[in-house]
Chains A and B, each alone.
Chain A
Amino acid sequence: MGKDHVVDQFRPVTPGVPSSEGTPGGPALGELLRLSSRGDQGAFAALYDATSRRAFGLALRVVRDPAQAEEVTQEAFLEVWRTASRFDPDRGSAVAWLLTIVHRKAVDRVRSAEASSRRDVAYHQQNQPVDHDATAEAAEASLEARRVRGALENLTEVQREALELAYFGGYTHTEVATMLDLPVGTAKTRIRDGLIRLRDAMGVGR
């Protein structure tokens, strides 16, 4: 019993997904979430430290403006704190759950910005310089990032483009179809096929 408990404590941070962050041998992210749901601020700080580079990097990639990326990241982590009890480990990893929240907030941000000031704002954001050196350097440091890039090689060109425009660009599949000059209704299939290939190549999900 006691031994089992120790083994459980030391399982990989996210099953099947060795992480670029986190503390090897530390409590699993799911456990940190569980503790957070009971109001354990120390556990939440550890969760933040283990995932904030992925969360902030994702927000930055989608909204492009560093100040807005900070706001989005903060909103997302506050939601993680509030709704930690809703995380269901049977449905997926803690990091995927957390990044889903970050992504949704980032996409909501770019779409509402677009709705309120139409294309000029979006265009302006697209043309804001992102500090590519710092971003690329940090990402390159991760072995896991290299594995993911390798897995992305298994996608067709159009699958990869559609997936990246939707995920990092925050565009709807209909917009992606127009941008890539695809027949209406096919971008969603490319996105799904691309995700399935990525999932299978990385051995995550089911």
Chain B
Amino acid sequence: MTSDIHALSGAYAIDALDDIERAQFERHLAECAECRAEVDGLREAAGLLAETSAAEPPAALRERLLAEVATVRPLPPVTPPPAQHTGRSRRRWVAPLVAAAAVVAALGAGGVVWHPWSDETTQAPPVSAADRVRNAPDAVSVTRRVDGGEATIVASKSLNQFVVSTEGLPALPVGKVYEMWLQDADEGMVPVSGGLMTAADSTVVLEGDLANALGAGITVEPAGGSRVPTSDPVAVFSFETA
């Protein structure tokens, strides 16, 4: 856990993160019980603020709502998985969070009005944040093999975003993480916010100053990440020659 990302708990609790930060923080939340508990407590506090702005809704709203509710079936509870297998459960935990964030990102960008009650079950988003980057007209894709696994970066300078997807990365010793860097033409290696990864296969959308980036790299760092790389990169992605 880096102190930087931990400090986002308050802003996350009251929806004051942009879509990218929210996706990053939700990835962190999946792995940080301390932050989950803190977010719950801060939401409790935030709810109190609404006491100071209470206002009587129009009576017609109640009628409309109750009429509509009569036509909508409540979702079933989430049933617990049959067995807890850490390796599997983490992988399954991360993906839905990223997907949920992607829905928001896509909706926020398109200004689409979402009617959550119009379908009975949660459904896949029409366009994910990752696809938005991949479909950008200036998207550049680079794939590198990493010790039997594979990492692909698709970068869009116009969006200033890039998608990192990993598959079969070698497992790391306890206390180590993969960290993502951008190689800035002026500032050298710059750590990417939210760019810490485990060996679990994942696809994440990250943000950085791509206009000035020559390339990107992945190194192995102590848990929590580093401010400057402390080891040689396991993969280097050049944006120039792609």
Residues in B32-61 with C-beta less than 8 Å from chain A: 37, 40-58, 61
Question: Are B53 and A60 touching (Cβ within 8 A)?
Answer: yes
Stretch at the interface among B4-12, B166-174, B214-222: B4-12
**Of the residues A21, A134, A205, contact of B44 by C-beta under 8 Å:** A205
Question: Are B65 and A174 touching (Cβ within 8 A)?
Answer: no
Instruction: Give the residues in chain B near A61, CB-CB below 8 Å.
Output: 53
Question: Are A115 and B108 touching (Cβ within 8 A)?
Answer: yes
Question: Are A39 and B73 touching (Cβ within 8 A)?
Answer: yes
Nearest neighbor of A86 in chain B, beta-carbon distance = B78
Give Cα A193 to B57, complex, Å: 32
**Shortest Cβ gap from B58 to chain A (Å):** 6
Give Cα A170 to B46, complex, Å: 13
Question: Are B7 and A58 touching (Cβ within 8 A)?
Answer: no
Question: Are B42 and A192 touching (Cβ within 8 A)?
Answer: yes
Question: Are B46 and A95 touching (Cβ within 8 A)?
Answer: no
Instruction: Give the residues in chain B near A206, CB-CB below 8 Å.
Output: 37, 40-41
- A198: Cβ under 8 A from any B Cβ: yes
Decide yes or no: A86 and B10 within 8 Å by CB, A96-B47, A138-B56, A204-B48 being known contacts.
no
- B124: Cβ under 8 A from any A Cβ: no
- A84: Cβ under 8 A from any B Cβ: yes
Instruction: Give the residues in chain B near A192, CB-CB below 8 Å.
Output: 7, 9-11, 42
Inter-chain residue pair count (beta carbon < 8 A): 236
- A23: Cβ under 8 A from any B Cβ: no
**Shortest Cβ gap from B33 to chain A (Å):** 12
Nearest neighbor of B114 in chain A, beta-carbon distance = A108
Q: How many residues of B contact A (CB 8 A)?
A: 59
Give Cα A97 to B215, complex, Å: 43
Instruction: Give the residues in chain B near A55, CB-CB below 8 Å.
Output: 50, 57
- A9: Cβ under 8 A from any B Cβ: no
Nearest neighbor of A81 in chain B, beta-carbon distance = B69
Give Cα A149 to B110, complex, Å: 38
Question: Are A57 and B53 touching (Cβ within 8 A)?
Answer: yes
Question: Are B77 and A56 touching (Cβ within 8 A)?
Answer: no
Nearest neighbor of A100 in chain B, beta-carbon distance = B43
Question: Are A188 and B44 touching (Cβ within 8 A)?
Answer: no
Give Cα A187 to B21, complex, Å: 14
Nearest neighbor of B120 in chain A, beta-carbon distance = A82
Instruction: Give the residues in chain B near A148, CB-CB below 8 Å.
Output: 48-49, 51-52
**Shortest Cβ gap from B118 to chain A (Å):** 10
Can you spell out 27 A-B residue pairs with CB atoms less than 8 angstroms apart?
A17-B47, A45-B62, A49-B62, A53-B55, A58-B53, A73-B61, A74-B61, A74-B68, A77-B69, A84-B74, A85-B75, A96-B44, A99-B50, A103-B46, A115-B111, A116-B111, A163-B14, A166-B11, A167-B14, A188-B8, A188-B16, A192-B10, A194-B10, A196-B10, A204-B44, A205-B42, A206-B37
A residues apposed to B, CB below 8 Å: 17, 20-21, 36-39, 41, 44-45, 48-49, 52-58, 60-61, 70, 73-75, 77-79, 81-86, 91-93, 95-97, 99-100, 102-104, 107-108, 111-113, 115-116, 134-135, 138-139, 142, 144-145, 147-149, 151, 163-164, 166-168, 170-174, 176, 187-189, 191-196, 198-199, 202, 204-206
List the 10 shortest-distance A-B pairs measured between CB atoms, nearest first. A205-B41, A192-B10, A116-B111, A57-B55, A56-B57, A199-B45, A96-B47, A166-B16, A85-B77, A57-B54
B residues apposed to A, CB below 8 Å: 7-11, 13-18, 21, 37, 40-58, 61-62, 64-66, 68-70, 72-78, 104, 107-117
